[in-house]
């Protein structure tokens, strides 16, 4: 799949070598990993992700169904369609901004924010460490590298060396758990501190991230419903204030019922999001497959690492 190009995808689907859903994900992955080629470098990472998720959800399948090889190469066809989607996306965003579109932000940390905070706290340890450069070809083979990082040490380590080793292991697993949110700068820091090449971490993150698209779509859907509920609440409250100001009508009771319904609706969806029911993160089993460990071991690392006192670890590392 790594050598797959856009122009080859329609023929692979037609021959049955690639499913439609697999083709859609392949198109998304190619665009996501080569976004400058598709004139998307002007968008920030969040906007680019939103645009591409929307493009995957609403356009890619239709493009595959309607594609005519006599008209243009599939790559050019996708490029043109993506530019149209980008223009529409930017217009809608500008319109929402100009009219003061209300987007309610969580008052508590969401799963993503908690993960990002932990990543920032720990990767600060690696601020002064130079980039890690692989010493031989074995350092470019993921299975061998992960085996080296997590292998048992036959001799006793000093307290500091033992803590540093556990921190490297935990940070590497945490980076993979944060696959959907981790950025290039954090990958560099994780690479430097864990002594694992950036290419291996990036490749592993990309593998895990490609399996999270449906989770991301589900989370975005529930967030949009939660946000719409908040907008309805704001709207109904304004209408009720007008009713009180100019005199109650028969519509007053209906407004109260609608407001109560949307408040319950908002609270339920907000609670689900705050409790992490729609978190966009790979399962421990998926991480375990990537690094070659039992999923129970991955779970234990994450549990212990998230309970650790980061400040004490920094002190121990000097």
The phi-psi region of residue 276 (left if phi > 0; otherwise alpha if psi is between -120 and 50; otherwise beta) is left
How far is 93 from 170, CA to CA, in rounded Å? 39
- CB of 167 closer than 8 Å to CB of 317: yes
What whole-number distance in Å separates Cα of residue 159 and Cα of residue 200? Answer: 29
Distance CA 84, CA 291 (A): 40
Q: Running DSSP on this structure, what letter comes out for residue 56?
A: I
**Helices and strands in the chain, H and E counts:** 15, 0
Helices (H), 135-250: 142-150, 159-177, 184-194, 198-209, 213-246
| Predicted TM-score of the model (pTM) | 0.53
Residues 6 or more apart whose CB falls under 8 angstroms from that of 250 comprise none
Rounded to whole angstroms, how far apart are CA atoms 219 and 59? 19
Q: Which two tokens stand for residue 29?
A: 């992955």
- What is d(CA 176, CA 87) in angstroms, rounded to the nearest whole number? 33
Taking the CA atoms of residue 275, residue 279, residue 285 and residue 290 in that order, the dihedral angle to the nearest 10 degrees is -150
Residue 213 tokens read as 């698209």
Q: Which residue has the tokens 């939103």?
A: 50
What tokens were used for 90?
Answer: 């930017």
Residue ranges, the chain, pLDDT below 70? 1-3, 94-140, 153-161, 242, 245-250, 306-318
What is the reported pLDDT for 248?
A: 65
Q: What is the mean pLDDT of the chain?
A: 78
Q: Which tokens in the block code for residue 273?
A: 């999001």
């Amino acid at each position: 799949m790594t050598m797959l190009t856009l122009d080859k995808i329609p023929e692979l689907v037609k021959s049955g070598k690639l499913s439609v859903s697999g083709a859609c994900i392949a198109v998304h992955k190619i665009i996501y990993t080569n976004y400058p080629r598709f004139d998307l470098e002007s968008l920030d990472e969040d906007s680019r992700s939103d645009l591409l998720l929307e493009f995957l959800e609403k356009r890619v399948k239709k493009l595959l169904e309607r594609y005519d090889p006599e008209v243009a190469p599939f790559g050019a066809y996708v490029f043109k369609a993506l530019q149209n989607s980008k223009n529409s996306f930017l217009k809608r965003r500008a319109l929402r901004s100009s009219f003061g579109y209300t987007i309610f932000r969580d008052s508590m940390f969401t799963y993503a924010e908690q993960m990002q905070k932990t990543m920032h706290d720990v990767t600060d340890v690696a601020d002064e460490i130079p980039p890690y450069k692989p010493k031989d070809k074995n350092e470019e083979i993921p299975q061998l590298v992960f085996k080296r990082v997590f292998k048992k040490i036959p001799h006793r380590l000093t307290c500091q060396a033992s803590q540093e080793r556990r921190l490297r292991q935990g940070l590497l697993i945490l980076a993979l758990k944060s696959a959907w949110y981790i950025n290039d700068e954090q990958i560099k820091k994780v690479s430097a501190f864990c002594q694992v090449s950036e290419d291996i971490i990036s490749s592993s993150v990309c593998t895990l991230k490609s399996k999270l698209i449906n989770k991301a779509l589900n989370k975005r859907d529930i967030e949009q419903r939660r946000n719409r509920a908040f907008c309805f609440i704001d709207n109904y409250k304004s209408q009720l204030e007008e009713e009180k100001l100019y005199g109650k009508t028969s519509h007053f009771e209906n407004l109260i019922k609608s407001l109560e319904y949307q408040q319950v609706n908002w609270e339920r969806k907000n609670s689900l999001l705050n409790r992490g029911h729609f978190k966009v993160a790979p399962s421990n089993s998926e991480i375990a497959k990537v690094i070659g460990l039992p999923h129970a071991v991955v779970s234990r690392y994450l549990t212990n690492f998230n309970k650790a006192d980061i400040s004490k670890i920094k002190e121990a590392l000097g």
